[in-house]
Structure 1
Amino acid sequence: MMETPNTTPDVYEDYSLMTGRTVQCNTIAINNFCQHFLPPFYYVIFIASVLGNGVVLLVLYKFEKLNTVTNIFLMNLVASNLIFTLTLPFQAVHHSDQWIFGEALCKLVTGADYLGFYSSILFLTLMTFDRYLAVVHCVVANKRRRSCYAVVLSAVVWIISVLASLQPFIHFTVEEYPMEGLVCEDSSDAQWRVFSLYKQLVLFFILPLTVFVYCYFRITLTVLAMRMVGKHRTVWLIFIIVLMFFAFWSPYNIIMMINENQDPRQCNSSLLYAQYVTSNIARLYFCINPVLYTFLGRKFQNHVRGVLVSQVPCLSDRISVSASSRTLQKTG
C-alpha cells in the first residue's frame, strides 16, 4: 500500500494502493511515521520472506516429490509470495524519498503487488479446499487428485489473479508535486475505486474466509469422528491456520471499509495510522504464509531439522531426525 506526503509541509495525503482513496490531514507526524518506519519495515519483511520461502523451496526440492498435488499448490503459493515480496524494495525507496523508477515500473511494480497479493489468497483458498477433499471426501479425491488437476487449477488461479490485477496498468501513473517530488499514484475516479474496494472485500476476503471456516470445520469433525492418532494436534493446527488468516487480514479490510464511508473532507489521523499498521500486518502475513503453512506440520519440521543436520553435522547429537528424512536426503 503506497502512501506519500502531500504538497505542503503540514499536510499529509494518503495514496492507498488498494483503494486509491485520497485523504488530507494537517499533520507532519504521519508523514514522519511513514518515512522512518515503513522503509526499514519493508526491508525486514523482504529479507524474512526471501529466506523463509527459500527454505520452503529447499525442503521441497530435497525431501519431497514436486509433482504431487499439495506440493504443486505450495510451489505456486511460494511463487505468489515472492512476486509480492519483490515489490517491497521499490516501495521502501518510494516512502523514504520519491518514485524514481519511471512510469513503466510504477505500473509494473503496482501490478506485481496486486498479482502476488491476490494469487496468494487464492492459492491458500485452493489448498484449503484440496485438503478438505482429501480428508472429508477421500475416496472420490484419491481418484481425481492428480498432478494435471493441480496444474489446471493453478493456471486458473493465475488467470483470475492477472485479470484482477490489470487496474494498475490502466489507472496508475507518476505525478510530480512541489514538496515530495515524483509519486506513483492511482488516477482512477471515485466510482472505480469503490468497485475495486468491494471486489477485494468480497472475492479476496469474505469468500476465502467462508471457504476456510467451512472446510476446516468439516475437516475437524471428520478427524474427531475417525479417532485419528494425534487428532488433537491436527485440530489445533487447523484452528491456528484459520485464526491467523482472520487476525492478519480482517483488520485491514475493516479499516478500509470505515475509511471509505467517512467524509473525504475530514481527516481522522488515528484512522490513517490504523490503515498503515493493518496494511503492513497484512503484508507480513502474505509474505511469510507458506512458512507458517508448512512449518506447522511435523513432517516439514523434521525435514528442516534434516537440512540443518546435513549442513551442520555437529548438531546431529542435539537434533533428532527421522530415518525417512535421512534416506530421502541421501537419495536426493
Structure 2
Amino acid sequence: MDDDQYQLFLDLVDDTTNTTDPTYVVSRTVMLCSKETVNEFASKFIPVFYVVNFILSFIGNGLVLLIIFKYEKLTAVTNIFLLSLVFSNLLFASSLPFWATYHWSEWIFGNFLCKVVSSAYFIGFYSSILFLTLMTFDRYLAVVQAVAAAKSRKKVYAIVASVVVWVISIAASVKELVLRNVWKHPINGLICEEYGLSKRTMERWNLVTYYQQFLLFFLLPLIMVMYCYISITLRILSTRIKEKCRAIKLIFVIIFTFFTCWTPYNIVILLRAIQVSRGEDEDSCSDEEGLDLAFYVTRNIAYLYCCISPVFYTFLGKKFQSHFRRLICQKIPCLKGHFLINSQSTRSTSQRAAHSVNEYTHMQHGQVENNDTHSCHPGL
C-alpha cells in the first residue's frame, strides 16, 4: 500500500470513528491484500471482453431471432424454449456494457440502475442455464419418450415450463435487488456491490449465493444434461438411422462444450464457498489473489458460452443452416451462386439424411410434432 492509499485509509478511519459497525472490529493484526494483479486484469481485460461478448451476443442472438420469426412456427414447443433462451441471453448481455464501464473506472449510473442492472444480469444468467437444461430435457422427451410424450408436448406445456424457469431465476436474484447499493470507496471510487448489513450476515448471504450457484445452476443441470444425452445416444444406437455416427458426435460436442465451459467456473465458486466458510484470514494473499484471478477468467468463459449458446445449438442443425443460407441469398444475391454449388455437391448426402430421418420418424409412429422432427436427430 503506497503513501496516498495509506492516507486515504487513515482519512476513512477518522471519518467513521463514531459509526463503526462492531462486527467489523477485531482485536488482532489484519493483513490487507493489495491484489494489484487482479485489479489490473479487471480494469484492462474484462471491459474489452465484456464489450466483445455484448457484440457477439446481440449479433448471434439477433440472427437466431430473425430466422425463427421469418421461417419457423413460433408456437412450436422447441421454438418457444429457444425464444426464451434467446431473450434470457439478450437480457444478460444488455448488462455487460454497464459492467464494462464499471470495471474501467467506477459505477456512474446511480443507485437505481445498480439494482436493476445487477438483477437483470443474474436473472439472465440463471435463466440461460435453466433454459439450456430444459431444451435438453425436451429433446429427451422427443426422442426417448416420443410416443408417451406426444400428448403432453404442447404449447401449454412449453409456456408453463418457461414461466417456471423465469420465476425460479427471478427468485434467485431477489438478493441483488435488495442488497445492491452504491457507496463511496476511499480508493476505488463509487462501488455497486452488496452493502448495508453486518459482515457476518453478508458472509452468510454469500454462502447461500455460492451454494445456490453450484448446486441449483450447475450440478443439477449437469446431471440432467448427462442423463438426457446418454439416453438419447442409446436410443439412436438402437435404431436403423444411417447417420447415427454424426448424431452421436454432435451429442459429444454439446456435452463436452457444456462441461468445459461451466465446470471450471463452478469449481472456483465452490472453492470460494469453502474459503468463506473457514474464514478468509487463514489464506495468504497469494492464495486469495490467485482464486480471484481464476474466478474472473473462468467466469468470462462461462459468460461467453451463455451468450453464444443459441447460435451454437441452432446452427448445428441442418434445418437452421438451410434457413441461414436462404436468408443470406435474399440479403446478398451475389452469394447465391456459391451456395448453389455447395448445395449441389452435398445433395446426395442430404437426401440420405432425409431418408434416415423419415425412417426414424416412421418408427416413432409419427407422434412427434412436425415442426420438431429435427429434435429426433440431435443437432441435425
TM-score bracket for the superposition, by shorter chain length: 0.7 to 0.9
Q: 2:324 aligns with which of 294, 301, 304?
A: 304
Q: 1:284 aligns with which of 301, 304, 322?
A: 304
In the aligned structure 1, how far is the partner of 2:37 from the partner of 2:217?
32
**What amino acid sits opposite 1:218 in the alignment?**
S
Q: Aligned-pair distance for 1:30?
A: 2.0
Q: 2:224 aligns with which of 211, 216, 220?
A: 211
In the aligned structure 1, how far is the partner of 2:5 from the partner of 2:306?
34
Q: Aligned-pair distance for 1:27?
A: 3.8
For the pair 1:246 / 2:254, whether they are aligned, the reply is no
**Mean alpha-carbon deviation: is it higher for 45-54 or for 26-35?**
26-35
**Mean alpha-carbon deviation: is it higher for 208-217 or for 24-33?**
24-33
Structure 1's 139 and 288: CA in aligned 2 closer, same or farther, altered over 3 A? Answer: same
For the pair 1:108 / 2:128, whether they are aligned, the reply is no
Deviations 1:144-173 (A, max 9, x none): 211111111111111111111101011111
Alignment check: 8 A CA contact 2:214 2:269 kept: no
**Mean alpha-carbon deviation: is it higher for 168-177 or for 68-77?**
168-177
Q: Which runs of 5+ in 2 are unaligned?
A: 7-30, 348-380
In the aligned structure 2, how far is the partner of 1:259 from the partner of 1:193?
9
Structure 1's 24 and 156: CA in aligned 2 closer, same or farther, altered over 3 A? Answer: farther
For the pair 1:90 / 2:106, whether they are aligned, the reply is no
Query: Equivalent pairs: percent with the same residue?
Result: 49
SS at match of 1:184: strand
**What amino acid sits opposite 2:110 in the alignment?**
G
Aligned position for 2:12: none
Deviations 1:83-140 (A, max 9, x none): 0000000000100010011111111111111100111111111111111000001111
**What amino acid sits opposite 1:271 in the alignment?**
L
Aligned position for 1:13: none
In the aligned structure 2, how far is the partner of 1:300 from the partner of 1:168?
37
For the pair 1:49 / 2:54, whether they are aligned, the reply is no
Alignment check: 8 A CA contact 2:211 2:273 kept: no
In the aligned structure 2, how far is the partner of 1:245 from the partner of 1:89?
25
In the aligned structure 1, how far is the partner of 2:112 from the partner of 2:217?
26
Higher radius of gyration, 1 or 2:
2
In the aligned structure 2, how far is the partner of 1:261 from the partner of 1:192?
14
In the aligned structure 1, how far is the partner of 2:241 from the partner of 2:151?
22
Aligned position for 1:28: 36
For the pair 1:295 / 2:315, whether they are aligned, the reply is yes
In the aligned structure 1, how far is the partner of 2:213 from the partner of 2:245?
34
Q: 1:122 aligns with which of 130, 136, 152?
A: 130
Q: 2:280 aligns with which of 264, 269, 283?
A: 264
Q: Aligned-pair distance for 1:261?
A: 2.2
Structure 1's 27 and 167: CA in aligned 2 closer, same or farther, altered over 3 A? Answer: closer
Q: 1:40 aligns with which of 22, 45, 48?
A: 48
**Mean alpha-carbon deviation: is it higher for 265-274 or for 227-236?**
265-274
Deviations 1:48-67 (A, max 9, x none): 00000011011111111111
SS at match of 2:192: strand
In the aligned structure 1, how far is the partner of 2:38 from the partner of 2:170?
33
SS at match of 2:150: helix
Q: Aligned-pair distance for 1:24?
A: 5.6
In the aligned structure 2, how far is the partner of 1:230 from the partner of 1:129?
22
SS at match of 2:107: coil
Q: Which runs of 5+ in 1 are unaligned?
A: 1-6, 10-22, 324-332
Structure 2-normalised TM-score?
Answer: 0.77
Deviations 1:257-288 (A, max 9, x none): 22332351232222221111001111111111
Q: 1:316 aligns with which of 336, 345, 356?
A: 336
For the pair 1:60 / 2:60, whether they are aligned, the reply is no
SS at match of 1:109: helix
Aligned position for 1:173: 181
